[in-house]
Amino acid sequence: MKPYTRSIIELFDGKRRYLIPLYQRQYAWKAKPQLELLWEDIERATERLKTDRASVSPHFMGAIVISQVKTYGKEVQAFEIIDGQQRLTTFQLLLTALRDVATKFESTYADEVSKYLLNSGMMENPLVERYKLWPSLLDRRAFVSLVDANADLDKIADKPLDEDGFVRLAIAAHAYFREKIEAHVSPDSDFDEHAMDILFEALKDGLAVVSIELEGGDDPQTIFETLNSRGVDLSAGDLMRNFIFQRAKGMGQKASSLIVDELYKKHWLPLDRAFWTQSASRGRQTSSRLDWMLTDHLSMHLADIVSVETLFEAYRRWILSIRPFEDVTEELSSITATAEVERKLFEQSKNDPLGRFGIFADAFDVSTAMPLVIYLATEADIGDRLPEALHALESYILRRDICGLTTKAYNRLFVGLVDRIRKAKGDKVEALVETLSSRESDIDRWPSDTEWRHAWLGRDQYKGQRQPRLRYLFEIIEQRKRTKLNENIEIKSALSIEHIMPRGWTDNWPIAGYENAADDDTEYLLRSAERDGAVNKLGNLTLLTQSLNATVSNGPFSIKMPAVRSHSSLALNRELNGFDTWNEETIKLRGAALFEVARQVWVSPKNLTEVAAATASNITVTGPVRLPVVCEVSGK
């Protein structure tokens, strides 16, 4: 490793190229704070030159790390950028703006500065090698269009799908510097060539970086991780990407581009799309989808809990100590397989078993199950039995939820199941079912029909934070209640959970025979307590559109029921026609009827082994021994 002090101008002096690998993130510097801080450095350097030229020494602005790439024949000397691509790109945009201002005012610096943007003379591939900086694919066209207005962009590179972000930032940076430079060299609208002299001298002698040029035995990743910069903070995904691809160094270049770029295009470029940069929340934590996916990926492989905060350190330790893959290509293929699974979980298509489980997982907030789901979908080799395995997992979770059993051990339980099933011989789905069925403690048992029915009828289920779970539950029951004689209707309305008998029942739902009872009547108080205890039971809940809910919310039975019957097409509400009154007994009867439907949907451990191969492809298929593919409706 050899460090050199180089000014902004010296970095680009002579015939040379800096290649930004595709795996490095896109340009991310903005006016505040990065560009403002750089311009302040430039202004301070120019002031020193004006006031005390003899004492001027370079002001250091951080470090860059580069590694020389082997070149042959007429190929221009090239360096792969290990760290510092944000600085180098910004310096090129600064020099481009300086050239453009000089051109506007017909200054001789227009030609001078061009020498530090474009190579000249003999080259192997002039179309590409003429550029001092060769950005990654996503940034290339936008960058070249600023540096070289006459470039044939279609010959330079194909237009990537997602370059808009760079276009905005690059144009903004170029415009920022151009405005600052114009104000500096023409403060009174008259061009001052001397001011241009001082500005160029500041870039040549007053500002410098440490250019660290790696040698054969140097570890670029260690240097990359330990350098502090003024740039945008790196996420766990950024660090992992660099860690993986820097271990693939030494592959050289082909057609003036790095060979390792092909690996990036195939495996990591899809992960740099906007889909994976979107934020997602799990519990109280928020991170990018990419970071969650990589956390689940590592948890699945380790069969252990991994924190998103320590993801990179844990991944690095695992790769270097265990060496689980033959090479980087196999390592990237494994990440790609996980990403395909988790994308379906995030996209939540009702036509895909993973998408349907994603809907369920969101409603019940069980992201802790994702490492197990990834294992089942990628490594377990269970083929078309994945829906069956996911349904077993869903039945386990949902039954425990209705019973009010704790979720605190889920993170440890589900990653532990990965290890148990991985070691199991024979049928992996049966191993999953048998392992879950064998649990006996409150923290992990799978409730039987008897326990589940008791909780279904006896526990209050309605709470504000449980609305997504209850909505999911009732939508699946609604689908199950439809017969072959019903129209095949997909629920697209935004449905909400509504109490049939409102919680404020005392105004419009009097207890029969106690209409005129005194407030302190003992029998009335007992009946009131009984009614209060029935209101939040499942038998008293249904689905309504938000507008219908608002219209009939606390109305009396005589008004509410006709309105529901007239405006709701749900089977859940159609069957209410069979009730002339609504009280504690009817709530219990309806709750018991709903349970019988739910019992056929979310099966008990004893039933699973009897129907192991009977996963239904459509939830509307009837029959007591079918395992329906749930989530055929969207309550999102």
pLDDT > 50? residue 485: no
Residue whose C-alpha is closest to residue 587's, from 472, 483, 509: 509
Lowest mean pLDDT among 11-15, 141-145, 374-378, 594-598: 141-145
Whether 528 shows a pLDDT value over 80: the answer reads yes
DSSP state at residue 616:
-
Which token pair is 587? Answer: 């709530």
What pLDDT, on a 0 to 100 scale, did the predictor assign at position 474?
95
Identify the pLDDT of residue 70: 87
Reduced 3-state DSSP string for 212-279: EEECCCCCHHHHHHHCCCCCCCCCHHHHHHHHHHHCCCCCCEECCEECHHHHHHHHHHHHHCHHHHCE
SS3 call for 434: helix
Cα separation of 119 and 134, whole Å? 12
Helix (H, G, I), strand (E, B) or coil at 128: helix
Work out whether strand 285-288 and strand 495-499 pair parallel, antiparallel, or are unpaired: unpaired
pLDDT in tens, 115-173: 999 999 999 999 999 999 998 877 888 889 999 988 888 887 665 544 444 567 888 99
Q: Give the pLDDT of residue 450.
A: 95
Give the confidence band of 186 by pLDDT, cuts at 50, 70, 90. very high
- For residues 347 and 358, the answer to whether their CB atoms sit within 8 Å is yes
Residue 506 CA: distances (Å) to CA of 319, 580, 583: 65, 19, 13
State the Cα–Cα distance between residues 253 and 77, nearest whole angstrom. Answer: 12
Burial environment of residue 86 by CB neighbours within 10 A (0 to 12, 13 to 18, 19 or more): buried
In this prediction, residue 620 has a pLDDT band, given cuts at 50, 70 and 90, of very low
Give the tens place of pLDDT for each residue, 430-474: 999 999 999 989 999 999 999 999 999 999 999 878 999 999 999
What's the confidence (pLDDT) of residue 140?
Answer: 84
- What's the whole-number average pLDDT of the chain? 85
The Cα angle at residue 278 between residues 242 and 327, in degrees rounded to 5: 30
Are 469 and 624 contacting, i.e. CB atoms less than 8 angstroms apart?
Answer: no
Query: What DSSP line would sit under 32-60, residue for residue?
Result: IIIIHHHHHHHHHHHHHHHH-GGG--PEE
Distance CA 138, CA 159 (A): 8
Residue with tokens 């179309």: 127
pLDDT of res. 208 = 87
pLDDT digits 0-9 by tens, 15-61: 999 998 877 777 889 998 899 989 998 998 898 888 877 666 677 77
Residue 177 confidence (pLDDT) above 90: yes
Q: How far apart are CA 523 and CA 624, in angstroms?
A: 43
The DSSP H or E segment spanning 160 is: none
Contacts with 74 (C-beta within 8 Å, 6 or more apart), sequence order = 122, 123, 124
pLDDT at position 53, please?
75
Read off the pLDDT of residues 307-364 as tens digits, 9 standing for 90 and up.
999 999 899 899 988 999 998 999 999 999 999 999 999 999 999 999 999 999 999 9
Is the pLDDT score of 375 beyond 50?
yes
> Of 508, 470, 505, which is closest to residue 584 (Cα–Cα)?
505
Which amino acid appears at position 371 of this protein? P
Specify the pLDDT at position 161.
44
To 10 degrees, what angle do helices 137-147 and 85-104 make?
Answer: 20
CA distance 327 to 515: 79
Tokens standing for residue 363: 């409603």
Paired sense of beta strands 2-7 and 17-19, if any: unpaired
Looking at residue 302, its amino acid is L
Q: Which residues pair with 7 in a beta bridge?
A: 208
Contact of 10 with 204, CB cutoff 8 Å:
yes
**Which of the four pLDDT bands, split at 50, 70 and 90, describes residue 493?**
low
- What pLDDT sits at residue 617? 36
Judge whether 510 and 539 are in contact, CB under 8 Å.
Answer: no
**Angle, alpha carbons 88-91-270 (nearest 5°):** 45
* Tokens describing residue 486: 């019903």
Burial class of 493 by CB neighbour count within 10 A (0 to 12, 13 to 18, 19+) = middle
Q: What is the DSSP string of 163-223?
A: -HHHHHHHHHHHHHHHHHHHHHH-TTSS--HHHHHHHHHIIIIIEEEEEEEE-TT--HHHH
Asked whether the predicted pLDDT for residue 210 surpasses 80, the reply is yes
Judged by DSSP in three states, 78 sits in strand
